[in-house]
Structure 1
Amino acid sequence: MKKIIYVTLLVFVFFSAKAAKVDTLDVFSPSMKKYIKTCVITPDSYKKGKKKFPVVYLLHGYGGNYATWVKSFKEVAQQADKYGFIVIGVDGNYSSWYFNSPIDPDFKYETYIIDELVPFIDKKYKTIASREGRAISGLSMGGHGALYLSFKHQDVFGAAGSMSGGVDFRPFPENWDIKKRLGSITDFPENWEKNTVVNMLGLAEANNLKLIIDCGVDDFFIDVNRQLHEKMLASKINHDYIERPGKHNIDYWENALKFQLLFFHDFFNDTVKTN
């Protein structure tokens, strides 16, 4: 029997004409046998009636955690109020890359998010519990994770985004603990080939996903994002692609998040009735 305990540890109220509520939860992961913190932002309108809400899952970058989105992004609660959806700040450990590690059984973050966290959120909150009511995005490591998970689990997510995503990590074999998750690229090249997003485009060719990809022109990931964009064009995979002045930093991501959340708002308006 799964043991899942809901604990409210933090309540943050955004003072404005409306008040989004932010809870921090402990969610038990049976696959990894540990509790994992998760941040949940509910809009002011959540308190009223039985209306169900679409959900956006946000994945932090390397070295971040579940609280990245409320600690570093000044307007995320305001945007949840504006668009009327629930926002989930997922914890992917500092360097999980959001997949199940083929070499370390303690890192099963794909299983956690898809099979444990999403059902938990749907059980505890008034969500639109279908792919039409779910989107996922992230920054840097989380950008890769969002595309990776959405490509593999199109029954769970209907839309996905990447901000400054490490969408092909093969050019960076010594960085960000990737080799701790996959083994060295020399000894385990198949792990790197199989788990990098740029090699997974065949999963997206049916155009079942609404996709938005965003990267700054001065970002060290700009080349791999451009290559991904070109491959998606060649494969006729529908997507929005944005390049703007900017580096791999919070200033760029705060602006990028506004584009992504508007994109998801439009997706939800086209696919679900929320009242």
Structure 2
Amino acid sequence: MRVVTETWWSEALGRQKSVNVVLPPGYAPTGRPFPVLYLLHSYGGNRRTWLTCPSLADCVAAHRLILVLPESGRYWLINDAGGRRYEDYFVHDVVGQVEKRYNTVASRSGRAVAGFSMGGATALFQTLRHTDLFSVAGSHSGAFEAPLREGDPYTPYRSDRRLMMPTVKDHERVWGPVGSAVRQVYDPYRLLADKDPEAPLRLYLDVGEGDYERMIAMNRNMRDALTAHGVSHEYHERPGGHDWSFVDAGLPRLFGFVRENVHAA
């Protein structure tokens, strides 16, 4: 697979930012346009994290999709309590620049967004908030209830250096205190209740059977909420924990779902 690094000035963030773009075999700048899958990393990741998945190259080769890998480190791709405008960066700067520079299907039917953990939740938030931009979303172990978090539910796991969950301080520098305006804006259940009924969506969710109890519970809660609101979705619980090995094992099914539900023109 061919990986291109693109860098431009972000008006939303007020600085230079880079994304990685993965081009499928047969990509051409003219002719039939390509659907795009935006892949969002987990807490603390970057635009290279997805490239460490061993299955990614095969999935790119098997599906006619451009991948776009933005980065936000330990910040969510939202307009957060600290004044960082990562949502504006994503939906305006990233999507806009990609469609200027590449031969893409520039409509909601040709755009999908997916992610892992923090990225999986953000993929859902942005799809529900921007149904004019995205028609398909996917999540591996999405942290959907981050806006509802109180205290540190991961205290028993803090001795594990592999833990990818923010402390209370780090969480609140993005989300603000409990009850903040930012938390209310991104409350996933409010977003579902307020979504545009005229914009059909297709969502994919999975979670590991060995994941944290809270993570499994919030994924089941989201599955039930999607069902209650009549949102078309596919849901799976499969072997694995909260790690990139679990993500890698699920990539073929995620890519297949996306490719079935986006359109080439």
Which of 68, 79, 83 is the matching residue for 1:100?
79
User: Which amino acid is 1:80 matched to?
Assistant: V
Q: What SS class does the counterpart of residue 232 from structure 2 fall into?
A: coil
**Residues 125-178 of structure 1, C-alpha deviations (whole Å, 9 max, x = no match):** 011111111100000000111000000001111100111010112235445222
User: Helix, strand or coil for the counterpart of 1:45?
Assistant: coil
Shift of 1:180: 0.5
Distance 1:163 1:96 in 2: 18
Structure 2 residue 3 is matched with structure 1 residue 22: yes
Indicate conservation of the 8 Å contact 1:173/1:184, yes or no: no
Q: Give TM-score, length-normalised by structure 1.
A: 0.84
Structure 2 counterpart of 1:179: 172
Q: Which amino acid aligns with 1:191?
A: V
Superposed, 1:126-137 pairs within 5 Å as: 126-137=103-114
Q: Is 1:39 equivalent to 2:20 in the alignment?
A: yes
Report the equivalent of 2:156: none
- Specify the code of the residue in structure 2 equivalent to 1:196: D
Post-superposition CA distance 1:76-104 (Å, at most 9, x none): 2332221111001111x222221101x31
C-alpha displacement of 1:205 = 6.7
d(CA) in 2 for partners of 1:33, 1:48: 29
Inter-partner Cα distance in structure 1 for 2:252 and 2:150: 29
- How far has the Cα of 1:189 moved from its partner? 4.0
- Between the two structures, name the one with larger relative contact order (CA 8 Å, sep ≥ 6): 2
Alignment of 1:171-210 (within 5 A): 171=149, 173-174=151-152, 176=166, 177-185=170-178, 188-204=179-195, 206=197, 208-210=200-202
Counterpart of 1:231 in structure 2 is: 225
In 2, the alpha carbon distance for the partners of 1:257 and 1:197 equals 24
Tell me the equivalent position of 1:121.
98
Correspondence for 1:67 among 30, 33, 48 = 48
Give the AA of the match of 1:157.
Answer: F
Distance (Å, rounded) in 2 between the aligned partners of 1:146 and 1:230: 18
Task: Figure out how many residues of one structure are paired with residues of the other and give that number.
Answer: 246
Sequence identity of aligned pairs in percent? 29
Unaligned runs of 5+ in 1: 1-19
CA distance in 2 between counterparts of 1:76 and 1:90 reads: 16
1:153 matched to which residue of 2? 130
Q: Which amino acid aligns with 1:194?
A: V
Write the distance in 2 (CA, Å) between the matches of 1:121 and 1:173.
Answer: 38
Question: In the alignment, which residue of structure 1 is the partner of 2:162?
Answer: none
Q: Work out whether residues 57 and 87 of structure 1, in 8 Å CA contact, stay in contact via their aligned partners in 2.
A: yes
Report matched runs for 1:208-227 at 5 Å: 208-220=200-212, 221-227=215-221
Shift of 1:204: 4.0
Partner of 1:90: 70
The answer as to 2:115 corresponding to 1:141 is: no
Taking the aligned partners of 2:260 and 2:123, their CA distance within structure 1 comes to 18
**Alpha-carbon shift at residue 260 of structure 1 (Å):** 1.1
TM-score, normalisation: structure 2: 0.87
Gaps of 5+ in 2: 153-164
> Does the 8 Å CA contact 1:98/1:110 hold for their aligned counterparts?
yes
- AA in 1 matched with 2:58: Q
Runs of 4+ residues deviating >4 angstroms: none
